[in-house]
Amino acid sequence: MSAPEKISVLNPTGFAPKVVQKDLAPRLDTLNGKTVYLVDCRFDDSDVFLKQMQAWFAEHMPAVRTVFKPISSVYLNDDPSTWEEIKARGHAAIVGVGH
């Protein structure tokens, strides 16, 4: 009888990154006369949802200007130029991440 074969086993437990808490942006008193960016992170169907949201704003809150803005890549990659544009030209943002 031969000795049992030895195998190596890896531990699949990961280690979550340290999360640093950030304060939320202050809430606006009103959206009337403001620009709201609808940010498409290119996750499955987020563009469809955000365009429906844009139509809702046009119908129900016409004093709110909406800007549909797809990010330059995919949701896994940061897009600093989009965030800078929103800071410079927008008052609020809704980030769509799909279904």
Is the model more confident about 97 or about 89? 89
Residue 7 lies in a domain: no
Residue 62 lies in a domain: yes
Domain of residue 52, residue span: 36-72+92-99
Residue 54 lies in a domain: yes
Is the model more confident about 11 or about 91? 91
CA 33 and chain centroid, separation: 24
Residue 77 lies in a domain: no
Return mean pLDDT, the chain.
Answer: 91
Grade residue 98 by pLDDT with cuts at 50, 70 and 90.
Answer: low
Residue found under tokens 């410079």: 88
Is the model more confident about 37 or about 2? 37
Residue 56 lies in a domain: yes
Residue 52 has pLDDT above 60, yes or no: yes
Tally of structural domains, the chain: 1
Residue 49 lies in a domain: yes
CA-to-CA separations, 6 to 1, 9, 10, 12, in angstroms, rounded: 15, 10, 13, 19
pLDDT at position 60 is: 98
Strands of the sheet with 65-70, listed across from one edge? 65-70, 35-40, 92-96
Residue 75 has pLDDT above 80, yes or no: no
Residue 98 lies in a domain: yes
Grade residue 30 by pLDDT with cuts at 50, 70 and 90.
Answer: very high
pLDDT at position 16 is: 85
Residue 26 lies in a domain: no
Residue 99 has pLDDT above 90, yes or no: no
